[in-house]
Structures are given as structure tokens and as C-alpha cells.
Amino acid sequence: MDARDFSEPALQELLGANAVLPEQFWNGDDSTNRSGERALMWAVLADGIECYRRNAWATAAGQRLEFLEAESWIQRNDWEWPFSFVNLCEAFGFRPDGVRDALMTWRRERVREAFKRRRYRPVTLRAA
């Protein structure tokens, strides 16, 4: 994994926060970074990752479908569609495989934490 994948403050915010505002990504006065197209691209990338994270353990059918769609979008290597995961990552200077690895690590860590928190109660016998 490339060191720059986690050194970018915007990527850290995107993978660690519940919401990302445009101000958190664009710092400085460069008006080319604030174009409507670039803002839309960032919104699509942030929404896709948020859908993945929000619904990772969903049990309801609709939320589970949303997770599977987000997961499929993240895993695809579609270089043709302008709003594909790989194209959006490249547009913002992120390595797609690095972002994928970060998401997989995030999910594995949450599974481990949930397993550690789970308490097992011994089966008790009921009086007849």
C-alpha cells in the first residue's frame, strides 16, 4: 500500500468520519478545485464509500442491497465510466487499491471489535 494513501487528510476524513463537507477536502483558494463537476465527483465518491460503511452489517433487504451495490462499485475496475470508483480515486490522487485495502481493513477491524464485545452466557437450566 502506498504511503500517500493514508497521508491525504481528505482520505483520512472520508474513511474515518460520518460526513465529509467540501470545505474539508478543498483547502486554499484555487477556484478550479471548486468546480461543479469536481464537487459532484467528490459527492459520488463520498456517497459510495458512506453507503458501503453505513450498510456493512445491514440485515434489512433494502439496506443489504445498497451495501452490495456499493461493494460491487468499489470492487469494479471500470475505466470507461467517468464516475466509476477507479476514475474518481484517480481524479483525486488516491490509489484505488489503497482505498479498497483501507475499506477492507476497516471492515475486518469492526468485525473483530464486535466479536470481542459479544458476551457469551452459559446455558442455564430452567426449573421444571
Q: Are 1 and 101 in contact (CB under 8 A)?
A: yes
What are residue 95's phi and psi, to 5 degrees? -80, 120
The three grid cell numbers given for residue 37, joined into one nine-digit string: 463537476
Q: Is the predicted pLDDT of residue 77 greater than 70, yes or no?
A: yes
- Three-state secondary structure call for residue 83: coil
Instruction: Write the CA distances from 78 to 14, 51, 72, 88, 128, integer angstroms.
Output: 22, 19, 11, 11, 63
One-letter amino acid of 52? Y
List pLDDT tens digits, range 32-45.
Answer: 456 889 999 999 99
Rounded Cα–Cα distance for residues 114 and 96 (Å): 27
pTM of the complete model: 0.66
Q: Is the predicted pLDDT of residue 107 greater than 70, yes or no?
A: yes
> Considering only CA atoms, which of 40, 50, 44, 59 is closest in space to residue 106?
50
Q: Which of 10-14, 53-57, 61-65, 112-116 shows the lowest per-residue confidence on average (mean pLDDT)?
A: 10-14
CA 51 to chain CA mean position, Å = 7
pLDDT confidence band for 3 (50 / 70 / 90): very low
* Type and span of the H or E element at 9: helix 9-16
